[in-house]
Amino acid sequence: MTDDSLDLPAQKLVFFGTITASLSHELKNVLATINEFSGLLDDLTRGAAAGRSLSPERLQSVCGKIQKQIRRGEVIIQRLNRFSHSVDEPGRQVDIKVVLGEICDLCHRFADLKQVALERQFPQESVLVPLDSFAFQYAVYLGIDLALQAGAEARVVTVSFATTGSACDVVIASADPMDPTLAARWSTLQQVMQHMGGEAGADGDRIVLALH
Contact residues for another protein, defined by CB under 8 A = 21, 25, 28-29, 31-37, 39-40, 43, 47, 65, 69, 112-115, 153
CB nearer to another protein: pick between 37 and 83: 37
Distances (CA, A) of 62 to 6, 27, 37, 40, 58: 48, 19, 6, 8, 6
CB nearer to another protein: pick between 32 and 184: 32
Q: Smallest distance, Å, CB 156 to another protein?
A: 15
Q: Smallest distance, Å, CB 187 to another protein?
A: 24
User: Which stretches does DSSP call E strand in 57-205?
Assistant: 93-95, 117-121, 128-130, 156-164, 167-174, 199-203
CB nearer to another protein: pick between 35 and 121: 35
CB nearer to another protein: pick between 61 and 126: 61
CB nearer to another protein: pick between 69 and 174: 69
Q: Smallest distance, Å, CB 55 to another protein?
A: 15
Q: Smallest distance, Å, CB 111 to another protein?
A: 9
Q: Smallest distance, Å, CB 83 to another protein?
A: 19
Q: Read off the amino acid at residue 99.
A: V
Determine the distance from the C-alpha atom of residue 161 to the mean position of all C-alpha atoms in its chain, rounded to a whole number. 17
Task: Give the HSE-up count for residue 185: Cα atoms under 13 Å, Cβ half-sphere.
Answer: 22
> What burial class does residue 94 get, using C-beta atoms within 10 Å of its C-beta: 0-12 exposed, 13-18 middle, 19+ buried?
buried
